[in-house]
Amino acid sequence: MKKIAFFDAKPYDKIWFDRQNRNYEITYFEEKLNQHTARFTEQFDGVCAFVNDDINSAAIDRMWKNGIRILALRCAGYSNVDVRAAYGKIHIARVPAYSPHAVAEHAAALLLTLNRKLHKAYNRTRDFNFSLNGLTGIDLYGKTAGIIGAGKIGRTFGTICRGFGMHTVAYDPFPSPDGELEYLPLDELLAHSDVLSLHCPLSDKTHHLLNESAFRQMKKGCLLINTSRGALVETAALLNALNDGTLRGAGLDVYEEEAEWFFEDFSNQIITDNALSLLVSKPNVILTSHQAFLTEEALKNIADTTLQNLDEFFSGKPMRYEIGGNSFSEKTGEARK
């Protein structure tokens, strides 16, 4: 059996990969993959990594020297991977779509909880405080939901919003012609949206897409939802928009500097990230720790697709979900035919 080094492993990962795996000997490492832990990949045939692993050029070089030729990402995004450094050395595959419903439904859950202040109500009634003061929300019916990024997840979120009786508009550099969504330029979408939800990938073009200038263009009282990538939003600008009332609130499943914090328990430690502490402390912010993908269906799909990517590589078949088109031989380094 081929040996796979599996980084940033969590109990739910082990459950589903052990259940679906037939062909590999998987060693689970709790440590994140980075230039230091890449030394653990010696004597392995492949590596499986996740969204907050730091796979920079030094990590790539270390894995290459250890004989690693396949990096299987069990996530859709790959902004944490130096793809250029990997080109000609290591094949990279990802899971482009594990469950658009999981992420879209979590975005809707953040929206409903934030708007109707369910988190506050829950904490109050646990203390037998049944006051309704401070729990007023708005009707979503008739409001406008602006969607940035109209891929599968964004379109699924739009369907949910239309179920609430909302009008949906979208911004996407590559709009679909099917007529399901009305597309607007970004500045118009910001100016008209009562709810703004981010569903686009992180790239050089989308980094800090929502900055001070973008927040100034927003409709006052907007509810912001981000289940995509933290660095789409400039944190300092987000805090200012929350402070000055530009935003009614923010429901966040991601954070710009989350790699150091998310997926771990820091409940008994002092949080040294002041911006993160401020966000958590605000009454009009709900922060979840990158859990939008976390459904049984999505975990099964992630395991199945990741293992399929490994199967295709080791059998020499074309890789459907390869990033960058690295087509070279595992053994010789020459181009595959």
Tell me the catalytic residues: 229, 258, 290
Name residues whose C-beta falls within 8 Å of residue 37's C-beta, 6 or more positions apart in sequence. Answer: 7, 29, 31
Q: Cα–Cα distance between 103 and 157 in angstroms, integer?
A: 8
The token pair at 218 is 């927003």
139: CB partners within 8 A, 6+ apart: none
Give the distance, in angstroms, between the CA of residue 4 and the centroid of all CA atoms in the same chain.
24
Distance CA(120)–CA(219), nearest Å, equals 25
> Are 242 and 223 a contacting pair, CB within 8 Å?
no
> What is the full DSSP assignment across 145-181?
EEEE--SHHHHHHHHHHHHTT-EEEEE-SS--TTSSS
- Cα separation of 187 and 216, whole Å? 10
Contact indicator for 242, 285 with CB cutoff of 8 Å: yes
Q: Which residue has the tokens 């979590």?
A: 106
Contact 69, 47 (CB under 8 A): no
Residues 196-205 as b or e (16 or more Cβ within 10 Å = b): bbbbbebeee
d(CA 163, CA 141): 9
For 261-303, the DSSP string reads TTTS--TTS----HHHHHHHH-TTEEE--S-TT-SHHHHHHHH
